[in-house]
Structure 1
Amino acid sequence: MTVSILCVCLGNICRSPTGQAVLEAVMPEARVDSAGTSDWHVGDAPYGPMQLAARARGYELGQQRARQVTAEDFHRFDLILAMDEKNLADLEAMRPAGSPADLALYLDVLDEGPRNVPDPYYTRDFDGVLALIEEAARAWNDRLSASA
């Protein structure tokens, strides 16, 4: 069974494109995409400093372009992972009736640590965000593999 996952943050230029790239590396059989709850950066490449930090760890974000979450996403993806509680609440509010997608926080699979992935656009901690995203991606892989 192939799982489909959508990673979601606010603008789709830092956290969610990174979540997509890391999940693609950890779960090559999965179909992974990313989007933002806002339309602020639609069509833009991921934020330059985030791309540099990701590239230093072996992930390429440059081919991605920001897009906004659509109603169809709630039917196209099995699992929608929000990077923080505000984005999760926004997703719940825009979720169409009858949507089969499971919604969760990206870090829900971690036993310890924060619930929200900090936004490195503001914190400037690109490496710290990458480490959190990598840890959670491995945990999601373990969880989804065990339930398959």
Structure 2
Amino acid sequence: MKRLVLIALLAFAPVTVAVAPMPAVAVQPDEVLDDPVLETRARAISQKLRCPVCQGENIDDSNAAISRDLRLYVRERLVAGDSDNQVIDAVTARYGEFVLFEPRATGANWVLWLAGPVMGLVALAFAAGFLRRRQGGAGPAPLTDEEKARLDRLMQD
């Protein structure tokens, strides 16, 4: 019996494995810049840009061909002397705002930025109204004499 309990505990025990963060494998050695400062900036920018094919991965982690092209383009712009914002603007101008993991809070994107907080406030208002109505109710009506007599008969049986 002890073995069975031990097996059950081990089978359902949460398993955690400590894994050291590994560098992205998508970046090829021929893409890496010689200047470590520029390479660090390129990696930081690549973390902010979405792969147009994978959509859930940044271009630094994606193995898609377009991500490689974007990584090379980012590095070209950095070598040319562009600032981080200029590089992001150039990529956005070329591929659209879809490539940004955090869309800018301008133009039509304000709808996206404000939709969450507005919906949260609407939900809070509905919840407050529901709770107010629930607390303000008189509750169930008291039993009539006929109902009390019937209940007494049922309880005695």
Same fold (TM over 0.5): no
Question: Which structure's residues are more often strand, by fraction?
Answer: 1
